[in-house]
């Protein structure tokens, strides 16, 4: 029997964006309060959290006070400075653990890890300079994508190389950051599995969703995804293998390319994931509560869906559609409380209920 | 076209208990922040609200500052002192309005109102002293229930009169408070309708739920309720009549006794209601969001349910069942963040999904 945090316990969340916001709401359902740690002012999670610390990840006194006030620490994004985590983990448990963070913070380490456990990925090669890049292009061919090893998200930190002549411009675009060249994958569509693993090693997956991106940002996720029964089984087994190997605790997003040669892992995210937002209106226990259950040592929800859903992200000015969407009786609206609708900024999402689970 | 509060607006909520807590969470989904006003320390709603004022309802400076910080005021319970409301309504709109509060704060006014619009209630008579009570018993007969006109909830402020000889003890139990004697109603079961009316006069009802009480406190609500098609229609029309007559804005709980002679109104509550908690896991838009939509001038959700649900209240020590309930894959847990499990105290509830809507 593993330790189970009792109602009244405090969950510390590193990062105060929309994921922290929705985690805090889910934690409240289980009787927990949340303490958000976020360097930026007026974070969305602060609207629905009991405590908020506004301080940098370099502020050791603030980190110490934060750790002292919570029972367990989790995070809403994977790019937290290692120094902060090194310090915090001497004070309180961090879930998911450092191993998953180390792997997912670095595209090279991630791909090597995935290959190491027998999963398929795009062809890849480390690129630190123009000589590496020339060799990588020779080996992998074009088209290919040069990506920074660290800190990339929503298509940022990437440059396409359609032909070897694009190499110089791509390197310049990444401004000398350590990078990895990834071969193009010929895929029919992308799906993601939102998987969870509890403190006792139990795993549970939500049904895979099918993702469509626009301008490098997730646009829609539709459930169910187009997958054969065997692909569905492969997706779930593959996700469980990743979680078990990492001795993972919490929810992880696993993005997969569907190809005639099988499922190819695009990337893993050691946190709740945009492509899992549909669970809020499609499942009894959503991905946010599932994550809180895992980090609090509770039994997991089982991931069954009761409804088919299409999740649509509201990016930038899309938020102007809210009055019209509010009239649509099949739509649930989820806004993030962000004041300014900048281009490319995730302002909210809507879940359209398509009908009972098929 | 009515005014529609835009995301970023602030909802003021009088009362910081579990209803205010769940209203605050619902408001966050629509991009609103909440400011809670509550005299008691460490209120459950404060865990998930952006702002909290701890002050009495007599503190005019605090009330003024509260009103100045919000765009609209609503409340989680009907027993707010009239003086506070008189003051607040000079500063900001209060929804639902004063008419509904005046009616529902006083059992005598409520019954007179309901009779006045042609609805059935229990036989009743005003009781201010022992002479009134003797006359009322003569008229109504026994068994009957003596109830305080104001401030009653969860079976408090009530005394049963099984025979005329019980009259003196019943009066003593109410300690001289203005009261009303209600005749017993022979009913087969109790149902409640959670109804909503928007700022533009649109109404929407959730499906009626069937309530079972224990020790005067709601124990379970089961959806669907046992009702014939015509009873179901009657229930919805009756609720709409109440809301329309009061020019109501928000969610109201309408408790009905089912009898061979038709539906008899037990009481109305001008707020979200314990018997509507099932909507959190049975409907796309729950009663809390429905209420926020109404007070913010948004279109209402339509109230259809996607699932059949049994809601079970966790009272006092019932909260010790949480670890076992967490293992049940058909159960969603909703805890209120209260530190101490006193007898009779509502600590949380669970919604058991019985299956797809039948």
For residues A114-134, average pLDDT: 95
CA distance B168 to chain A (A): 44
Q: How far apart are the first and last CA of chain A?
A: 36
What tens digit of pLDDT does each residue of B65-90 get? Answer: 999 999 999 999 988 998 999 999 99
CA distance B353 to A301: 13
What tens digit of pLDDT does each residue of A289-334 get? Answer: 999 999 999 999 999 999 999 999 999 999 999 999 999 999 999 9
Q: Which stretches within chain A are classed as H helix?
A: 18-29, 60-69, 82-88, 98-104, 107-116, 130-140, 167-173, 229-245, 279-282, 287-295, 322-326
CA distance A268 to A119: 12
Closest CB to A332 among B28, B284, B327:
B284
Looking at residue B221, its pLDDT comes to: 98
Which residues lie closer than 8 Å to A330 by C-beta, 6 or more apart?
A: A352, A353, A354, B284
Instruction: From chain B, pick out residues whose CB is under 8 angstroms from the CB of A298.
Output: 326
What is the rounded (10 degree) CA torsion for B61, B37, B284, B235?
-90
Decide if B33 and A50 are in contact by the 8 Å CB cutoff: no
DSSP 8-state secondary structure symbol assigned to residue A299: P
| pLDDT category of residue B206 using cuts at 50, 70 and 90 | very high
- Does residue A2 register a pLDDT over 60? no
DSSP E strand boundaries for chain B: 10-14, 33-38, 51-54, 72-75, 124-127, 144-148, 158-161, 179-183, 189-197, 203-205, 209-214, 217-223, 250-259, 262-269, 307-315, 331-335, 346-356
Looking at residue A152, its pLDDT comes to: 67
| pLDDT category of residue B155 using cuts at 50, 70 and 90 | low
Ordered by where they begin, the domains of chain A are: 10-94 (3.40.50.20), 123-183 (3.30.1490.20), 189-356 (3.30.470.20)
What tens digit of pLDDT does each residue of A242-260 get? Answer: 999 999 999 999 999 999 9
CA distance A11 to A47: 16
CA distance A84 to A103: 17
Mutation target among A48, A282, A286 for the B interface, most CBs of B within 10 A? A48
Looking at residue A356, its pLDDT comes to: 97
Looking at residue B313, its pLDDT comes to: 98
Instruction: Please answer whether residues B309 and B47 qualify as being in contact, where contact means their C-beta atoms are separated by less than 8 angstroms.
Output: no
Looking at residue A153, its pLDDT comes to: 64
In A, minimum Cα distance to B49 occurs at: A48
Give the containing element (helix H, strand E) for A221: strand A217-223
- Does residue A69 register a pLDDT over 90? yes
Nearest to A28 by CA among B28, B75, B312, B330: B28
What tens digit of pLDDT does each residue of B1-52 get? Answer: 458 999 999 999 999 999 999 999 999 999 999 999 999 999 999 999 999 9
CA distance A113 to A104: 9
- Does residue A55 register a pLDDT over 70? yes
Instruction: From chain A, pick out residues whose CB is under 8 angstroms from the CB of B288.
Output: none
Chains A and B form CB pairs within 8 A to the count of: 104
Closest CB to A356 among B306, B319, B332:
B306
In Å, how far are A94, A255, A264, A286, A336 from A282, measured between CA atoms?
Answer: 29, 19, 26, 8, 19
Interface predicted TM-score of the whole assembly (ipTM), two decimals? 0.95
For B51-57, the CB contacts below 8 A with 24+ separation are B51/B10, B52/B16, B57/B81, B57/B83, B57/B84
| pLDDT category of residue A1 using cuts at 50, 70 and 90 | very low
CA distance A248 to B297: 45
Count other Cβ atoms within 10 Å, centred on residue B279.
29
Share of chain B above pLDDT 70, in %: 98
Task: Average the pLDDT over each of A58-67, A93-102, B144-153, B187-196 and give the range with the smallest value.
Answer: B144-153
Nearest to A6 by CA among B217, B291, B221, B341: B341
Share of chain A above pLDDT 90, in %: 91
For residues A54-70, average pLDDT: 98
| pLDDT category of residue B160 using cuts at 50, 70 and 90 | very high
**Cβ burial, residue B61 (10 Å; 0-12/13-18/19+):** exposed
DSSP 8-state secondary structure symbol assigned to residue A6: P
What tens digit of pLDDT does each residue of A208-242 get? Answer: 999 999 988 999 999 999 999 999 999 999 999 99
CA distance B269 to B253: 5
Instruction: From chain A, pick out residues whose CB is under 8 angstroms from the CB of B49.
Output: 47-48
Closest CB to B284 among A25, A33, A281:
A281
Decide if B335 and A29 are in contact by the 8 Å CB cutoff: yes
Closest CB to A299 among B48, B327, B337:
B327
Instruction: From chain A, pick out residues whose CB is under 8 angstroms from the CB of B2.
Output: none
Instruction: From chain A, pick out residues whose CB is under 8 angstroms from the CB of B298.
Output: 326
Count other Cβ atoms within 10 Å, centred on residue B215.
10
* Average of per-residue pLDDT values in chain B: 95
The SS3 assignment for B216 reads coil
- Sign of torsion over alpha carbons B7, A33, A196, A253: positive
Crossing angle of the two packed helices B287-295 and B18-29, in degrees rounded to 10: 70
In A, minimum Cα distance to B302 occurs at: A329
Looking at residue B55, its pLDDT comes to: 98
Decide if B337 and A48 are in contact by the 8 Å CB cutoff: no
State the maximum Cα–Cα separation within chain B, in Å, rounded to a whole number.
60
What tens digit of pLDDT does each residue of A73-97 get? Answer: 999 998 899 899 999 999 999 999 9
Instruction: From chain B, pick out residues whose CB is under 8 angstroms from the CB of A348.
Output: 31
Looking at residue B1, its pLDDT comes to: 45
CA distance A305 to A280: 10
Instruction: Please answer whether residues A168 and A185 qualify as being in contact, where contact means their C-beta atoms are separated by less than 8 angstroms.
Output: no
Phi and psi of A157, rounded to 5°?
Answer: 75, 35
Q: Which residues pair with A190 in a beta bridge?
A: A211, A257
- SS3 assignment for A245-264: HCCCCEEEEEEEEEECCEEE
For residues B87-107, average pLDDT: 94
In Å, how far are A180, A227, A234, A350, B136 from A258, measured between CA atoms?
Answer: 22, 8, 11, 25, 77
- Does residue A186 register a pLDDT over 50? yes
CA distance A213 to chain B (A): 24
Task: Average the pLDDT over each of A90-99, B135-144, B150-159 and give the range with the smallest value.
Answer: B150-159
Which residues lie closer than 8 Å to A286 by C-beta, 6 or more apart?
A: A26, A276, A279, A280
* Average of per-residue pLDDT values in chain A: 95
Decide if B284 and A284 are in contact by the 8 Å CB cutoff: no
CA distance A346 to A273: 13
Which residues lie closer than 8 Å to A89 by C-beta, 6 or more apart?
A: A98
Instruction: From chain A, pick out residues whose CB is under 8 angstroms from the CB of B319.
Output: 7
Decide if B281 and A281 are in contact by the 8 Å CB cutoff: no
What tens digit of pLDDT does each residue of B314-356 get? Answer: 999 999 999 999 999 999 999 999 989 999 999 999 999 999 9
Closest CB to A333 among B30, B327, B332:
B30
Q: What is the CA radius of gyration of chain B?
A: 20
CA distance A72 to A74: 7
Give the containing element (helix H, strand E) for B167: helix B167-173
Which residues lie closer than 8 Å to B183 by C-beta, 6 or more apart?
A: B122, B123, B124, B140, B141, B144
Mutation target among B8, B48, B206, B304 for the A interface, most CBs of A within 10 A? B48
């Amino acid at each position: 029997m593993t330790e189970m945090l009792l109602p009244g316990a405090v969950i510390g969340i590193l990062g105060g964006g929309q994921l922290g916001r929705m985690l805090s709401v889910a934690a409240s359902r289980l009787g927990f309060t949340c303490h958000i740690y976020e360097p930026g002012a007026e974070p969305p999670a602060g609207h629905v959290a009991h405590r908020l610390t506004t301080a940098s990840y370099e502020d050791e006194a603030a980190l110490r006070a934060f750790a002292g006030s919570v029972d367990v620490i989790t995070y809403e994004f994977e790019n937290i400075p290692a120094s902060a985590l090194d310090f915090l983990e001497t004070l309180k448990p961090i879930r998911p653990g450092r191993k998953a963070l180390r792997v997912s913070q670095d595209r090279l380490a991630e791909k090597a890890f995935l290959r190491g456990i027998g999963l398929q990925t795009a062809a890849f090669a480390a690129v630190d300079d123009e000589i590496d890049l020339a060799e990588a292009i020779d080996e992998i061919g074009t088209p290919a994508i040069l990506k920074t090893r660290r800190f990339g998200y929503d298509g940022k930190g990437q440059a396409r190389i359609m032909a070897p002549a694009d190499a110089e411009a791509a390197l310049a675009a990444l401004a000398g950051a350590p990078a990895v060249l990834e071969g193009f994958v010929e895929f029919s569509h992308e799906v993601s599995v939102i998987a969870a693993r509890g403190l006792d090693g139990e795993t549970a997956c939500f049904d895979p969703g099918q993702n469509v991106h626009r301008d490098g940002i997730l646009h829609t996720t539709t459930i169910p995804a187009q997958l054969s029964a065997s692909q569905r089984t492969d997706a779930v087994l593959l996700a469980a293998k990743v979680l078990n190997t990492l001795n993972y605790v919490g929810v992880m997003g696993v993005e997969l390319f569907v190809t005639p040669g099988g499922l190819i892992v695009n990337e893993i995210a050691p946190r709740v994931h945009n492509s899992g937002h549909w669970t809020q209106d499609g499942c009894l226990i959503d991905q946010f509560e599932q994550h809180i259950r895992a980090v609090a040592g509770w039994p997991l929800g089982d991931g069954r869906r009761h409804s088919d859903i299409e999740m649509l992200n509201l990016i930038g000015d899309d938020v102007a559609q809210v009055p019209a969407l509010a009239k649509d009786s099949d739509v649930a609206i989820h806004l993030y409380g962000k004041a300014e609708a900048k281009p490319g900024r995730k302002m909210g999402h809507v879940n359209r209920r398509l009908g009972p689970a098929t």
